[in-house]
Amino acid sequence: MRLLLVEDDAMIGTSVQHGLRQDGFTVDWVRDGQAAELALGAESYDLVVLDLGLPKKPGLEVLRGVRRKKNLVPVLVLTARDAVSDRVTGLDAGADDYLVKPFDLDELAARIRALLRRRAGRADPLIRHGNLTLNPATRESTFNGKPLVLSVREFAVIQTLLDRPGAIMSRTQIEERLYGWGEEVESNAVEVYIHALRRKLGADFIKTVRGAGYMVPTKS
Amino acid sequence: MTSIRRQLITGLIAVVALAVFLGAAVVYRQARAELDQIFDYQLRQMALSLGDQSFESTLEGNAREEFDFVVQVWSREGLRIYFSRPHAVLPNRARLGFETMASAEGLWRIFSMQQRGVTIQVAQPMRVREQLAASAALRTVLPFIVLLPLLALVVWFLIGRGLRPLNAVANAVKARTPSALDALPVERLPDEVKPLVLALNDLLGRLAQALEMQRQFVADAAHELRTPLTALRLQTQLVERAQSEDDRRAANAAVSGGLQRATRVVEQLLTLARQEPEAGARGLTKIDLLDLARDALAEHALIAEEKSVDLGIVRGEPATVEGEANALRILLANLLDNAVRYTATGGRVDISIYTDDHRAVIEVIDNGPGIPLEERTRVFDRFYRRAASDGSGTGLGLAIVKRIVERHNGSVTLADAPERGLRVRVELPGTLA
């Protein structure tokens, strides 16, 4: 899951980025409104964590701009102002959720997971597909009722594919979900993770669509 | 006695009573004068009419009690031949013409004349005239005396009605709370009360403004404290989550950085609050800016050295100002702190202190990135932080500088440094050393 973090304060930004990475998210961090718009125009994100008090362009304007472009990406707003009117303004401008500073890293991660779940159209906090169950909150997984050990990246790859079962994801698309800016992408990393996952889940769990990418077939 | 109503009533009644009394006195005097003329004429006429009578023998009149004239007639030989009321206390003699004489029964008005050998004297007690004059005077002022309480009542009522706007104003003032300091209504106010209400409104307006500024400051301060506190909270959570010793060490370092920043924000907020215009003036002393600059330089030398910033005084001339030593110390510290903070490693910060046209000048020139023209006013706003800043600043430094400069009736300007970077120039009114 690739997130865009828009936060002008260096200390808060560093900590949130660090914490969310520990939770298995890929986090790109920008520090002003204009950079946020550039990033949103250039990349596709699963979710945006948006601080409202931003230099160069206020967070609310960024948010309105995103919605004006019919971009449905879930947006979680961070605000230091806890007046009801501020929160209402934020939600009415198109935010999906908000957190008032100071907030808890765990709560932020939980709300992000909830938003992603809702976007994927699931009510169940666990991701289930066939005999595989993923818990995004704890990053634990079971297969055929037994605990399954997956690395952070492997978990991210299978979660990405299960996000929209039946859809084909190209190698580049998967890479984008896995690596933020400035992170070194090994040339055949995705193939390596797919290979490892097939070893653990069975060769048929992930299908290769030649010339297009990978998919997890919907259960027939 | 501070009640306007009681003062007015008392004064009014006293004046009216005095006027009534004076009026009565005047009426009495006039009536007396007129009555004197009329009665004197009557006395004379009566005496003249008596002159035609012949008084043949001595006889005693038997005039009735209510007839208050007394008549005496003497013969040529000086013998009293007629006396209308024997018991009257008049002397047995006569002086011709009019005469006023005191007797045991009070004053008498007497007219005496000689006619055909007899002396005729007609007398009347003055009491009659006094009584008539007094009753005339009383008749004139009686309505006023009767009306006086009524007048007092009406005035009492009228004053009450006239002062009612004051009560309304008092109630309106009572209803004002610190959160609702809107102006009092001035429509339909009497001219005497309007200046008071207008003055009050002026005060209310200034109060509301000051309160609003305070409220804004507190809100801004709370907001600004939230940022370092949020960072701290996140940093401590990262400490808890740390898996490895390296992680923990890094997280702990971040926490101490966060703490340092939070402390700085609080300190700067306090400093700013102390430099607010409302804070009372403190002792002014003659201060040599060069001495202060040397102290500030010493305090910042270590930080500058850590960053390999070349910090020094390039022009140090005596410059004396009258000011608050502590405030000026903070001013210099903030200027140097900013300059060192925003200058890249290996940069240079030059301080100049001198006097120019009776103005004491502090100049701090760095070769950092400078501040673009469009931001040069905004950086003096409190809590304004530039986009490019690293987040360690509080956004208060230059706001504090500005406050201190304003308190000293000076000016602060930002300009480009000769090469690149920022030149901060503070001018303060100088004094002779």
State the Cα–Cα distance between residues B38 and B40, nearest whole angstrom: 6
Average pLDDT over chain B, rounded to an integer: 83
Using pLDDT thresholds of 50, 70 and 90, give the confidence band for residue B239: very high
Residues B120 and B72: their CA atoms lie apart, in Å, by 6
Query: What ipTM was estimated for this complex?
Result: 0.76
Residue pair B432/B322 in contact by the 8 Å Cβ criterion:
no
Q: How far is B241 from chain A (nearest CA, A)?
A: 8
A101 contact residues in B (CB cutoff 8 A): 226-227, 229-230
When pLDDT is averaged across residues B147-157 and rounded to a whole number, the result is 86
Q: In angstroms, rounded to a whole number, what is the distance separating the alpha carbons of residues A10 and B385?
A: 12
Nearest to B231 among A12, A55, A104 (CB): A12
* CA of residue A145 relative to chain centroid, distance: 27
Distance from CA of A219 to the nearest CA of B (A): 38
Q: What confidence tens digit (pLDDT) does each residue in B94-128 have?
A: 788 888 888 877 888 888 888 877 888 888 888 88
Contact of B333 with B426, CB cutoff 8 Å? no
Distances (CA, A) of B40 to A65, B30, B111, B124: 117, 15, 8, 9
CA distance B171 to chain A (A): 33
Task: In whole angstroms, give the CA distance from residue A59 to residue A50.
Answer: 7
Q: Strand order of the sheet with strand B106-115?
A: B59-60, B80-83, B70-74, B118-125, B106-115, B97-103
Contacts of residue A16 in chain B, CB cutoff 8 Å? 234
Say yes or no: A9 contacts chain B, CB-CB below 8 A.
yes
- What per-residue confidence (pLDDT) applies to A220? 47
Mean pLDDT of B220-230: 82
Structure tokens at A142: 């079971």
| pLDDT of res. A136 | 87
B285 - beta bridge partners?
B323
**Beta-carbon separation of B230 and A102 below 8 A:** yes
Residue B283 clears pLDDT 80, i.e. is over it: no
The length of chain B, given as a count of residues = 433
Report the alpha-carbon distance of residue A132 to residue A129 in Å, rounded.
5
| Interface test mutation site (partner A, options B227, B264, B383, B389, max chain A beta carbons within 10 A) | B227
The pLDDT of residue B390 is 59
- What is residue B156's predicted lDDT score, i.e. its pLDDT? 86
The arithmetic mean of pLDDT across residues B386-395, rounded, is 64
Judged by DSSP in three states, A185 sits in: coil
Q: How confident is the model over A2-41, as pLDDT tens digits?
A: 999 999 888 899 999 999 998 889 999 999 889 999 999 8
Tokens representing B357?
Answer: 């046209």
Rounded-to-integer distance, Cα A60 and Cα A75, Å: 11
Q: Please, what's the b/e burial string for B89-118 (b: 16 or more CB within 10 A of its CB; e: otherwise)?
A: ebeeebeeeeeeeeeeeeebbbbbbeeeeb
3-state secondary structure of B113: strand
Q: What is the mean pLDDT of chain A?
A: 88
Count the neighbouring beta carbons within 10 Å of the beta carbon of residue B195: 10
Does A83 touch chain B if contact means CB atoms closer than 8 Å? no
* Angle A116-A121-A123 from CA coordinates, rounded to 5°: 85
Q: Dmax of chain B from CA atoms? A: 162
Q: Which of B411, B430, B286 lies closest to B359 in space, CA to CA?
A: B430
Contact A15 B235 (CB under 8 A): yes
Over residues B24-33, the pLDDT tens digits come to 899 999 999 9
Task: Find, among B349, B350, B338, the residue nearest to B308 by Cα.
Answer: B349
- A31, closest residue in chain B (CA to CA): B387
pLDDT of residue B340 exceeding 70, the answer is yes
Confidence at B354, pLDDT banded by 50, 70, 90: very high
Q: Which residues of A touch B233 (CB under 8 A)?
A: 102-104
Percent of chain B at pLDDT above 70?
Answer: 91
- What does the alpha-carbon distance between residue B365 and residue B424 come to, in Å, rounded to a whole number? 6
> What is the C-alpha to C-alpha distance for residues B182 and B205, in angstroms, rounded to an integer?
7
> Which CA distances in Å does A178 have to A158, A217, B303?
11, 21, 41
